Amino acid sequence: MGVMEKFRIDGKVAWITGAAYGLGMAYAKALAEAGARIVFNCRSQEHLDHAMEEYKAAGVEAYGAIVDVTKEEEVKKFVADVKEKFGPITILFNNAGIIKRIPMTEMSLQEWNQVIDIDLTGPFICSKAVIPDMIEQGGGKIINACSMMSELGRETVSAYAAAKGGLKMLTKNICSEYGQYNIQCNGIGPGYIATPQTAPLRKPQEDGSMNPFDRFIRSKTPAQRWGTTEDLMGLAVFLASPASDFINGQIVYIDGGILAYIGQDPSNLDESKFRGVKEEENIEVNDK
């Protein structure tokens, strides 16, 4: 097999959770371009209908269904349905997730549990549902949507950081338990992504100076820019493909170097070189 052929996933059934919009849909389109058959789930008919239109317009043949990743019976039924229609799922991308920005002492137990259930328990349920077929098929790929909050704390995101930290360790544990069956489980940890949803955080102030948050992020990022969805796609395909067959239990951070850098004083940032920079038209922030 040639080097470039190792990045092909032709005929593989890839399930991307929460891929009705945003980064999930972007990941799905990338895997489709690499040859995978795309299946996805979401939690509302409105999102499902819109997603099917988007996939069709992009030339992607996708199959979607309304499934709550926190409901084990719904997940098991979906996996069985997909297997009957298209064959066993051998690529799982645990993308579905939420965030609630609430100070910890003001967060209710219900709000905490909702974040943990979707962001951590959901990947456990979905992974558990597909691993037996992966073992039977001789291998598989599980990709978890981690975050810089898998490594760092930040005010008002206690539940999200706890879930993403837990997801990092679930990734390592799936590797530990099932690597012997040629199952690779790795994580993607995006940094701050420039999208329409984060545009207000980058919008200049009325006097023309940089948005303080934009200045902060650029000063903490060696690349001195926000990421784009295109920055994430190559890694998604790589981790889903045979090219990554000996990579397991790793979290790869696509953050422009934030986690490697203590940062500079934001006031020292030369904002003149960022004026007039055209923003990419992307899909959605990987919410921190």
The residues carrying an active-site annotation are 160
CA distance 195 to 123: 25
**Nearest-angstrom CA–CA distance, 148 and 236:** 17
Chain centre distance of CA 283: 13
DSSP states of 35-82 as a string?
A: TPEEEEEES-HHHHHHHHHHHHHTT--EEEEE--TT-HHHHHHHHHHH
Q: What are phi and psi of 140, to 5 degrees?
A: 180, 175
Backbone angles phi, psi at 263, to 5 degrees: 95, 165
Eight-state DSSP code of residue 205? P
Nearest 5°: CA angle at 122, between 120 and 128?
Answer: 105
Are 235 and 27 a contacting pair, CB within 8 Å? no
How far is 17 from 272, CA to CA, in rounded Å? Answer: 41
**Centroid of chain to Cα 136:** 26
